[in-house]
Amino acid sequence: MPSTRKPLLVFACIGSIVAVPALAQQSPYPPPCDASKVTKADVDRAHTVFLSGKQFLEESNYDKAISYFKDAYAIDCSVHGILPIIATAYERKGDKAEAVRALEEYLRRAPPNAPDREVIERRIKNLNDQLTREQPAPSATSAAPSASAAPTVSVAPLPSSQPAPPAPVGSGNVTGAAAGATEAPSGGTHGVAPWIVVGAGGAAVVTGIVLYVVGAGDVSSAANSCPFRKNCAPDIASKGNNGRTLETAGVIAGGAGLAAVAGGLLWHFVEGPQTRSDSGARVSPDLAPGYAGMTVRGAF
């Protein structure tokens, strides 16, 4: 009867090779647990360890702060709000990659309807953008074309026997190279009122976005300062409530701005062009403060 020992050894080796990368990719944080399975003693002890980590964070001792925060989370692994605070410590330390890792772990463990999910996603995007900008850019000299390779254009001089072309004769109202040039009658134009409405709506949209971002930041900061949301300091609670108010105001302002932009564009396309007649149209270059280089045509 053939022995099965060698095939078993082969399968065991293959299993160990597959298992090692899987273990290396495990999360550095303890597995999540249900709050009902955590005793009150563990909750109190986790809170005490968390306060010690917060003190180290305020003293800019980020390594100890991260260690204490992780210990607190290991004691009470149902408080996933510690993960964004760990990310804050990593970010202040300068380790943006670990900060992103902690925030992504929070999104995997937090409920889908978590109120700060959008704020955390925005933090992850900003950190990833910073990591992208910090990467060394490729050398610009390799992509720049050589100056010696630029084509050259030579202009042959006019023969001395050939008379110079006569200078253009223009009227007193026309100067420079535009002398004697006339402009065709202009067609219809749209009014500027719709664009005023669009501009006002755009300003309202920008204001709404700023209000929402500031409010979301206040809410996230309050949640980071008091993740358990118990016995929070009055200034922290007030900051969180003000953040919610700013978020609501931002949504309202942004919605009104979008409506104004849509209405202004609809007005512009529905409105028919307004015709005007130009008598004695001519070209006359003008310069005005803030509008150098622009030309106004037509006589009124």
Predicted pLDDT at 6: 46
> What residues contact residue 80 under an 8 Å CB cut-off, 6+ apart?
32, 106, 109, 110
Residue ranges of the alpha helices (H) in 135-172? 140-143
Length of the chain, in residues = 300
SS (HEC) of 78-104: CCCCHHHHHHHHHHHHCCHHHHHHHHH
Predicted pLDDT at 292: 46
φ, ψ at 189 (rounded to 5°): -130, 155
pLDDT tens, position by position, 46-73:
999 999 999 999 999 999 999 999 999 9
pLDDT at residue 119 is higher than 80: yes
Contacts by 264-267 with C-beta closer than 8 Å and gap 24+? 264/194, 264/195, 264/196, 264/197, 264/198, 264/199, 264/201, 265/194, 265/198, 267/193, 267/194, 267/197
Predicted pLDDT at 157: 53
Q: Which fold has domain 28-129?
A: 1.25.40
Predicted pLDDT at 234: 83
Predicted pLDDT at 45: 96
Predicted pLDDT at 16: 42
Place of tokens 């990368």: 21
Decide which of 167 and 92 is more confident: 92
pLDDT tens, position by position, 192-243:
888 798 888 889 888 889 888 888 888 788 888 888 777 788 888 888 888 8
| % of the chain exceeding 70 in pLDDT | 63
Decide which of 56 and 166 is more confident: 56
> What residues contact residue 121 under an 8 Å CB cut-off, 6+ apart?
107
Predicted pLDDT at 271: 73
pTM: 0.42
pLDDT at residue 275 is higher than 80: no
Decide which of 220 and 184 is more confident: 220
Closest CA to 215 of 259, 251, 257: 251
Predicted pLDDT at 113: 92
> What residues contact residue 260 under an 8 Å CB cut-off, 6+ apart?
197, 198, 200, 201, 204
Predicted pLDDT at 82: 97
For the chain, the average pLDDT equals 74
| % of the chain exceeding 90 in pLDDT | 34
pLDDT tens, position by position, 71-116:
999 999 999 999 999 999 999 999 999 999 999 999 999 999 999 9
